[in-house]
Chains A and B, each alone.
Chain A
Amino acid sequence: MDLRELYQEVILDHGKHPRNHRFPEPHNREGRGYNPLCGDKITLRLQLDGDKITDIGFVGQGCAISQASCSTMTEAIKGKTLPEVDALFSKFHSMVTSDEGSADLDALGKLAVFAGVREFPMRVKCATLGWHTLKQALGDEGDEARTE
């Protein structure tokens, strides 16, 4: 597979210049994500008003895939309700892990640039670190999100 399909412009751009790379004020939820095999580490903070994520940001370090995925995720879910976020995560997860054709790329919008990750199983953990950290911030996963 061509590496350009994995490292699409959007990913390179977000990897180099992550969006929402700051902690929002105010915020009322925090999640910490860590991949012990890579050393990738992120802290995610967000403001949840009712069931809507009104602001979100993250700080951390890691590879281009993990940083770009977290960056595009924050853009995609800002202003979304929890059920909408859940639906997006499950579509994203199936896009990066399951067989071709099963993913709903249209519904994923910009997040569809991560479709190439499926061909690189070693990198799925990088692409999902931000999402697992989000789930943890929302109380769905333990004290620290881990992808390994």
Chain B
Amino acid sequence: MRFEEAREKVRGFLNAAKKTEVVFTRGTTEAINLVAQSWGRAYLCEGDEVLVTELEHHSNIVPWQMLCQQTGAKLVVVPMTDRGEVLRDAFEEQLTERTRLVAMAHVSNALGTVLPVGELISLAHDRGAVVLLDGAQAVSHADVDVQALDCDFYAFSGHKLYGPSGIGALYGKERLLEGMPPYHGGGDMIRSVTFEETIYNDLPYKFEAGTPNIAGAIGLGAAIDYFTSFDGQAVHAHENAVLRYATDALESVPGVRLIGTAPGKVAALSFLMDVAHPHDIGTIVDSEGVAIRTGHHCAQPVMEHFGIAATARASLGMYNTTDDVDALVGALRKVQELFG
């Protein structure tokens, strides 16, 4: 069955040990909410702590805030540096014996920072905390191997991997998934139902109530086939080369300021221009045929950190070249002409 073949492709892509550790979801957001509501409500008590970092996407903040309201647990935030880094020392400082769960981005969507997740996961495990990684921005830019990372949960979305929207997956260690109650009740997630008792289905179906997004899952499998048909190291090397070129090019435009300058970041460049607001930049570069994103990128605490409301962000994919960067820089010169 092609739906199950797609699950096997996700397993292989994440290098999960077992196919039953892969749960299809609508995307990263639903995967995080699943862990918050199923694992979180079952295991968190008043006074426990959930640790997140300052650079999280709203999807990795709000589900935990909701959980904290429901359980009386406390949300604790690891601060980032002005370059957009999350440092080991700052992380360790916020870990306590009450930290039960750490939820953090593998890669920041607004800044491109790659978090030192291997090191942070091991620190968290030393304290007995469970770790969820938000992999939405990482899957197309970084190597993902959930066994090597030793994360407990990993969430990602198909549309960030050149696949369809409305489909994604949650990886969870079998031991943890087994101990979690279902997230949604309904069809497919049961073995038998009477009005007296319902026996839940095995993993991963216990977490997949209702008719699944079969077409989406198969589409995600196709996207994984496509993405993995390229040599991962070559893709990273290409993106890094274009990133270096783009960083120099943007810095050479007077009045441009890069936001997020962590060493080893992926090819996402958030920036400001002194002459124009990000939305005006967006409209003008769009008319020059360059698509960028403008706004707070669903990471308002990041904007708050830098004392700004929005940035313009060029996110480079494996298909982008230095010609595209030249087109962006040309469009930014138009912005200067108009607003300067």
Contact = CB atoms under 8 A, between A and B. Distances in A.
Contacts of B284: 3, 7
B309 A41 contact: yes
Contacts of B339: 7, 12, 16, 64
Given A39-B296, A39-B309, A123 B279 contact: yes
B290 to A, nearest CB: 13
Contact of B309 (A1, A40, A122): A40
Interface string A1-32: 10110110000100110000000000000000
B280 A64 contact: yes
Contacts of B334: 3
B333 interface: no
Nearest to A6: B283
Contact of A65 (B279, B296, B300, B338): B279
Contact of A120 (B276, B278, B283, B295): B283
A38 B283 CA distance: 13
Interface in A59-93: 61-65
B228 interface: no
Nearest to B275: A16
Contacts of A4: 338
Interface string B284-299: 1001000000111000
Contact of A12 (B283, B300, B310, B338): B338
What is the size category of the interface that chain B forms with chain A?
Answer: 10 to 19
Nearest to B338: A7
Nearest to A2: B287
Interface string A100-139: 0000000000000000000010110010000000000000
Given A7-B338, A12-B338, A12-B339, A39 B280 contact: no
A37 B283 contact: no
Contacts of A16: 339
Contacts of A6: 283
B280 A38 contact: no
A41, A63, A122 pick with most chain B CB within 10 angstroms: A63
A126 B309 contact: no
Contacts of A40: 279, 309
Interface in B304-340: 309-310, 334, 338-339
B295 A38 contact: yes
A39 B283 contact: no
Contacts of B276: 64
A38 B276 CA distance: 14
A65 B280 contact: yes
A117 to B, nearest CB: 10
B238 interface: no
A92 B277 CA distance: 23
B338 A126 contact: no
B279, B284, B300 pick with most chain A CB within 10 angstroms: B279
A63 B338 contact: no
A10 to B, nearest CB: 14
B279 A126 contact: yes
B310 A38 contact: yes
Interface of B: 276-280, 283-284, 287, 294-296, 300, 303, 309-310, 334, 338-339
18 contacts: A3-B283, A3-B334, A3-B338, A7-B280, A7-B339, A12-B338, A38-B279, A38-B310, A39-B303, A39-B309, A41-B309, A62-B279, A63-B277, A63-B280, A64-B339, A120-B283, A122-B283, A123-B283
Interface of A: 1, 3-4, 6-7, 12, 15-16, 37-41, 61-65, 120, 122-123, 126
Top-8 shortest CB links A-B:
A39-B309, A63-B277, A63-B279, A39-B310, A64-B280, A63-B280, A39-B296, A3-B287
